[in-house]
Each structure stands twice: as structure tokens, then as C-alpha cells.
């Protein structure tokens, strides 16, 4: 176990491994192209719960149980839980933690909370602290709509750049116990504000942060994009992907091309499912990573990926007061250990 | 203490990025939106006219018919909202669904349904007029100013 | 004939509101406020009355018609009660619409649950 700093906020990690992962998603996500990769798909948005906030907690706790079952672990094997969500005062994460009562670190980077959790857990595990961490993130479309937009039944037209908060949760077990997938390195992002004001266009607010973190990570590690099979952003969506590719190429001379993928763009069939720019929310990157990417790493179809989830850091109050929307992105590189290594 | 220069981003870079984003940002389909707003708004108004005509047929004067007509339309809007259909009408029709009085009903009924989970008083009671409130406040304020002006000018 | 005009005028007013919404940074709430204020203003200048005369519900069903109702209500109250009517007028005229929405809203809250 070791953590070695390299550059301003990048760290090389040794001896921390990605164990089992689990993803539970809502019905709309279950109709998307990634349906086969999720552990469980809910038949509805959780109408059996008295509120959608409670449904979001259940979504999270189901994914946690599945991840623990897959790992043959019980809650007492978990040294620390690092998790985040979108709702005020992290009620999803914290209220869920009432039932498991494990040591809890709540984190918030909006939709980048999952990568913040992975990065934080890797750092503390890598320095000989706890030896097993559960990293979690969840979001629910309807509870997010209630908090950020309008009452559900109030009619309004979504703008073409608006994203669709995913009903999804993702959980990953990080451990110092050896497994096939190794946490390789990470970069802690910084908050960038390039003056975006439109809460219906988070792609413009987050793309600069994504590219900044990505480029700083590659520089600090002395790598190029060729070192990765995929560089995966969280919820830039279709528009944001174009922006990030352009920004990286024009301003930083990094040509990402097909390597750059986006969880929000992959989660839905954007045309058929009418989600405009694509999926968003902490659960989006958490679910797509825990379901799709982690499985592809395990099966060996992917060998090395850089997950760079982004978050738009605004509250309903901040944009009503005319504040611009800052963005943040944290990067984490995961490598598959080949035989004999 | 200033901010570390390493974290400063060249303002030209930001401007170039915003220019590019503005150039390629997916746009609203304004023409189609206008056509749908016209059709939906027109259809609701036509329906309103039909209801009004029916009440006039029943012996209401054309002025007196306005009150029951608005109650019927508000009832329709409330029912469609409750069934979860009104947001679909607005999704297509935009302002064609929001501007008519049925949309006003939607603006009151939607929060009423929504905030039930926060309780009868602080949920429904406090949030019922979240959306319709501003309309009433400024509509009433403007009507008051108009009334004052007319009173002073003696055109009332 | 009023039926045709009801459709055309009601539709045009909504299309105008949609145009304002799509070509500005205003939210729907801002546009609604703008249109009720415009309706009240137009009534003050005596323009809206003419619109109501020939297009009926086409002018009274969209929100500017609500502004018209408020202005007319104040007008009548002033005629009856003098200056006090300035204060008592508007709400009386708008009462049926608002109260209906309120009652139906409460009823819907008890019967229905918000869906996706």
C-alpha cells in the first residue's frame, strides 16, 4: 500500500483494488441500451414508497446489499462508507446510513460525487487507514425534479440541452485485498467557473472542468490518451461530448476522438427515449460504471479506463440570485491486472 | 493574498469556448413550437367558447356565462392534471397549454399534489400558490394601478 | 363566427407567448406574469374589451383575459362604491376562477399522486 503524489493534485495508488460492484436502476434506464448490465431494474419509479425521497434511499440500499452479497461480505466487514447524492443535506446517503450504522463519510460534488468517493476512499485505503470501503452514489429522477425544477405534474417544455436526472444507484467495494482490478491513479478536481448561467445547459458548465481534470491527470502521470481504452465522463451528454472534444483538441492539443465516452449519453437511447441531452445525476455515472464499465474491465474487454465524472455545483437559490454555475470533475484510473503481473 | 496564477484561466480561452458553445448549442425548434402553441391554445379557447355558448343557450347573459365557463375550464384542467395528462399537453403545446385558464388550474393543482408529502399545512397549504402566486400578485397590482389611473382620470 | 375568432385569437395569443419564451431567457413563470400584466394594461386602454367582443373566449380564456377580468371588476366596484372599490373590486371578479382552482387542487391532492 502506498500513495505517491505526482503533480499538483494527482496521486499514484498502490495496493488498492476494486472489488465487486452493483447497479440498480429505474424503469426508464432499464429500457435503455445498457439494460443487460444492471443488477436490478425496478418495474416502476418506486410508487410503493411513501415519497420519492424514500424510494431513492431504497434504490441505494438495494445496490449496497447486492454488492455485499456478491462479495460474500456483511456490513461488519465494511470499515467505512463513502457516499453522496443530490438531495439537500445528503439525506439519501445519510438516512440510508441509519440502517447500516457503519462509519460514514458523506461527500458532495453533485454528479461527480461517485468519483469523489472513489478518489477519497482510494487515498485513505492507500495510506493504511481502513482496509475495506463501500463507495456509493444515487439519484432519483422524481426527487431531483422536485428539488431543482418544478412540481412533477406542472407542464413545461424541456430545453434541448436539458439533461434527464437518472433513477439509478451504483455501489463499488474498494479493498486492500488483491483482485483483478487495481486503482491506478487519481486526480482531485478543482472548481472552475467559465460563466455559464443556464441550469438547463449543464454541459457547458461542466465540460471545462472535465477537460481540465483530464488534461492535468495525463500530464501529471506522464501519459497520453493512448494509455487508456476509454476515457469516460459522467453526464456531459451528447452536446457536452462535442464541447469537451473540441476544447481538448483546440486548447490543450489532446485529441480524444472515440476514446471519449459519456455515461449520460450511453444510458439512454437519446432519440427514442426523449431525454434531450442525455442522463445526469450522481447515480448516472455510478450506475453505468458499476454496471457496464466494471463488468467490461472484469471480463477483459477493457483493460484500462479513466473515469472523469463531472458535477455542476449550483442550487435552486444560487441561480435565482443570478450566480453562474461552476463545475468540478474528479478523475480515477482503473487498470486490469493481467495474468502473471 | 491573490489566487495562485496556476489556477487562473486565460480569459480568451473562456471566450473562445463560450463562442463555440453558442455556435453549436442545440436550438429549440421555434417554428414547430409556435405552430403547436397556436393549435393547442386555439383549441382550448375554442372549447371555452363552446362551453360559454352552451351556458348562454341555457339562459345566462353573455357576461354571466363567463363565471361558470371559467369554473368548467378550471375543472377540466384540474382533472387532466390529476390524471397526469396536462404536463403532456404542455410538453407539446408549450404556452398553448400554459397560458389558458386550464394552465392556471394546472399551476395550482400540480403543487397541491406535489407537496402533499410535506404535510397539509406546510406542504399543500404553503406551496399551493408557488407557481400561480406571482401571476396573481402582479396581475392584481397592475389592475389596481389601472383602476387608480381610471379613477383619477374620471374615465371610470 | 365568434367560434372561428375564438380559435384564432386564443391561438395567436399563445403563439405570441411561446415566441417570447423561446426568444428570451425568461422562464415560463416570467412570461405568464408578463402576459397578465399586459392584459390588465390593454384593458386599461380599452383595447382588450374590443378583443373580447369579437373573439369571446379567445380573449377571456388565455391569461391576459384574467387581467381583463381584474380590471373590469375594479371598474364596476368603483362605479358602485367609489374609491373603496379600488380595493374590493379585483378579487371579487376573479374569485370564481381562483376558488375553483383552489378547491379542485385540494381535491386532486387527496385523490391523485404525481407520476413520471
Last residue of a domain, one of A108, A140, A175: A175
One domain, residues A162 and A14: yes
State the 10-residue block means of pLDDT for chain A, 341 residues long: 93 97 98 98 95 97 98 97 97 97 97 98 96 98 89 84 96 96 97 92 96 97 96 96 96 93 96 93 98 97 97 91 95 86 51
Is B83 close to C112, i.e. CB distance below 8 A? yes
What's the pLDDT score for residue B5?
Answer: 47
| C-alpha grid cell, residue B127 | 406551496
Is A151 close to C28, i.e. CB distance below 8 A? no
Is A151 close to C116, i.e. CB distance below 8 A? no
One domain, residues A171 and A190: no
One domain, residues A225 and A122: no
One domain, residues A15 and A158: yes
Last residue of a domain, one of A175, A191, A216: A175
Is B7 a residue whose pLDDT tops 60?
no
B81 in Cβ contact with B111 (< 8 Å):
no
Is B1 a residue whose pLDDT tops 60?
no
Is B2 a residue whose pLDDT tops 60?
no
Domain that holds residue A102: 2-175
Touching subunits of A (3+ CB pairs, under 8 Å) are B, C
Is A146 close to B114, i.e. CB distance below 8 A? yes
One domain, residues A294 and A199: yes
Residue C88 falls inside a structural domain:
yes
**Minimum Cα–Cα distance from C28: chain A residue:** A156
Q: How far is CA A99 from CA A264, A340, B117, C32, in A?
A: 30, 41, 22, 46
Angle between helices B66-82 and B86-93 in degrees, nearest 10: 100
One domain, residues A229 and A297: yes
Q: Choose the closest CB to B34 out of C19, C63, C91.
A: C19
A248 in Cβ contact with A216 (< 8 Å):
no
One domain, residues A251 and A111: no
**Minimum Cα–Cα distance from B129: chain A residue:** A151
Touching subunits of C (3+ CB pairs, under 8 Å) are A, B
Q: What would the DSSP string read from start to end of B47-110?
A: HHHHHHHHHHHTT--TTTTHHHHHHHHHHHHHHHHHTT-HHHHHHHHTHHHHSBHHHHHHHHHH
We report the CATH number of the domain holding residue A62 as 3.40.47.40
| Total domain count, chain A | 2
Is A151 close to C114, i.e. CB distance below 8 A? yes
Band (pLDDT 50/70/90 cuts) for residue C116 is: low
The runs of H, that is alpha helices, within C1-116 are 2-22, 28-44, 47-55, 57-60, 64-81, 85-111
Give residues with Cβ within 8 angstroms of A171, minimum separation 6. A21, A22, A23, A60, A63, A64, A66, A67, A134, A135, A136, A286, A290
φ and ψ at residue A235, rounded to 5 degrees: -150, 50
Domain that holds residue C100: 2-111
Last residue of a domain, one of A124, A148, A175: A175
| Total domain count, chain C | 1
One domain, residues A164 and A193: no
Q: How far is CA A129 from CA A91, A97, A171, B73, in A?
A: 26, 20, 20, 65
What's the pLDDT score for residue A339?
Answer: 61
pLDDT tens for each residue of B103-124: 999 999 999 998 888 999 999 9
**ipTM for the complex shown:** 0.94
Residues A198, A200, A206, A207, CA torsion sign: negative
Give residues with Cβ within 8 angstroms of C38, minimum separation 6. C64, C67
- Residue-wise over A248-280: b if at least 16 C-beta within 10 A, else e? beebbebebeebbbbbbbbbbebeebebbbbbb
Q: Is residue A220 less than 8 Å (CB to CB) from chain B?
A: no
Amino acid at each position: 500500500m502506498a500513495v505517491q503524489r505526482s503533480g499538483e493534485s494527482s496521486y499514484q495508488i498502490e495496493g488498492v483494488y476494486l472489488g465487486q460492484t452493483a447497479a440498480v436502476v429505474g424503469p426508464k434506464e432499464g429500457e435503455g441500451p445498457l439494460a443487460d448490465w444492471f443488477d436490478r431494474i425496478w418495474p416502476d419509479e418506486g410508487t410503493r414508497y411513501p415519497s420519492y425521497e424514500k424510494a431513492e434511499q431504497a434504490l441505494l440500499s438495494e445496490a449496497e446489499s447486492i454488492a455485499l452479497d456478491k462479495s460474500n461480505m456483511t456490513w461488519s466487514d465494511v470499515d467505512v462508507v463513502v457516499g453522496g447524492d443530490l438531495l439537500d443535506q445528503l439525506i439519501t446517503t445519510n438516512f440510508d446510513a441509519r440502517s447500516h450504522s457503519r462509519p460514514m463519510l458523506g461527500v458532495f460534488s453533485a454528479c461527480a460525487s461517485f468519483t469523489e468517493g472513489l478518489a477519497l476512499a482510494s487515498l485513505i485505503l492507500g495510506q493504511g487507514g481502513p482496509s475495506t470501503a463501500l463507495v456509493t452514489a444515487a439519484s432519483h429522477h422524481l426527487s431531483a425534479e422536485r428539488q431543482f425544477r418544478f412540481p412533477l405534474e406542472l407542464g413545461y417544455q424541456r430545453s434541448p440541452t436539458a439533461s434527464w436526472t437518472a433513477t439509478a444507484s451504483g455501489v463499488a467495494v474498494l479493498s486492500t485485498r488483491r483482485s483483478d482490478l487495481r486503482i491506478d491513479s487519481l486526480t482531485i478536481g478543482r472548481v472552475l467557473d467559465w460563466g455559464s448561467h443556464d441550469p438547463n445547459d449543464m454541459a457547458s458548465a461542466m465540460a471545462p472542468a472535465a477537460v481540465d481534470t483530464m488534461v492535468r491527470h495525463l500530464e501529471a502521470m506522464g501519459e497520453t490518451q493512448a494509455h487508456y481504452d476509454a476515457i469516460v465522463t459522467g453526464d456531459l451528454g451528447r452536446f457536452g461530448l462535442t464541447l469537451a472534444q473540441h476544447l481538448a483538441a483546440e486548447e490543450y492539443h489532446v485529441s480524444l476522438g472515440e476514446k471519449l465516452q459519456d455515461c449520460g449519453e450511453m444510458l439512454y437511447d437519446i432519440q427514442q427515449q426523449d431525454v434531450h441531452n442525455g442522463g445526469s445525476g450522481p447515480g448516472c455515472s455510478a450506475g453505468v460504471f458499476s454496471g457496464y464499465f466494471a463488468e467490461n474491465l472484469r471480463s477483459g474487454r477493457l483493460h484500462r479506463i479513466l473515469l472523469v465524472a463531472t458535477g455542476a455545483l449550483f442550487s435552486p437559490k444560487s441561480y435565482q440570485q443570478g450566480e453562474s454555475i461552476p463545475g468540478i470533475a474528479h478523475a480515477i484510473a482503473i487498470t486490469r491486472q493481467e495474468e502473471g503481473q | 493574498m491573490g489566487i495562485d496564477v496556476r489556477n487562473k484561466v486565460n480569459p480568451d480561452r473562456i471566450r473562445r469556448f463560450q463562442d463555440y458553445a453558442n455556435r453549436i448549442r442545440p436550438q429549440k425548434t421555434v417554428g414547430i413550437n409556435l405552430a403547436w402553441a397556436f393549435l393547442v391554445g386555439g383549441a382550448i379557447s375554442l372549447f371555452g367558447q363552446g362551453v360559454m355558448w352552451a351556458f348562454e343557450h341555457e339562459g345566462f347573459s353573455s357576461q354571466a356565462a363567463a363565471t361558470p365557463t371559467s369554473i368548467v375550464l378550471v375543472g377540466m384542467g384540474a382533472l387532466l392534471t390529476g390524471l397526469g395528462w396536462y404536463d403532456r399537453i404542455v410538453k407539446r403545446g408549450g404556452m398553448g397549454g400554459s397560458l389558458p385558464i386550464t394552465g392556471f388550474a394546472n399551476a395550482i393543482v400540480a403543487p397541491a399534489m406535489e407537496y402533499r408529502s410535506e404535510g397539509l399545512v406546510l406542504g399543500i397549504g404553503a406551496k399551493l400558490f408557488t407557481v400561480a402566486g406571482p401571476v396573481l400578485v402582479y396581475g392584481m397590482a397592475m389592475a389596481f394601478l389601472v383602476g387608480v389611473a381610471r379613477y383619477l382620470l374620471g374615465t371610470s | 363566427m365568434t367560434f372561428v375568432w375564438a380559435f384564432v385569437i386564443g391561438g395567436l395569443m399563445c403563439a405570441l407567448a411561446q415566441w417570447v419564451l423561446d426568444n428570451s431567457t425568461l422562464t415560463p413563470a416570467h412570461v405568464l406574469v408578463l402576459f397578465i400584466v399586459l392584459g390588465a394594461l390593454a384593458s386599461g386602454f380599452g383595447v382588450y374589451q374590443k378583443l373580447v367582443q369579437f373573439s369571446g373566449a379567445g380573449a377571456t380564456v388565455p391569461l391576459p383575459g384574467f387581467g381583463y377580468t381584474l380590471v373590469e371588476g375594479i371598474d364596476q366596484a368603483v362605479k358602485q362604491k367609489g374609491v373603496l372599490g379600488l380595493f374590493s373590486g379585483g378579487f371579487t371578479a376573479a374569485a370564481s376562477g381562483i376558488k375553483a382552482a383552489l378547491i379542485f387542487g385540494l381535491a386532486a391532492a387527496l385523490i391523485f399522486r404525481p407520476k413520471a
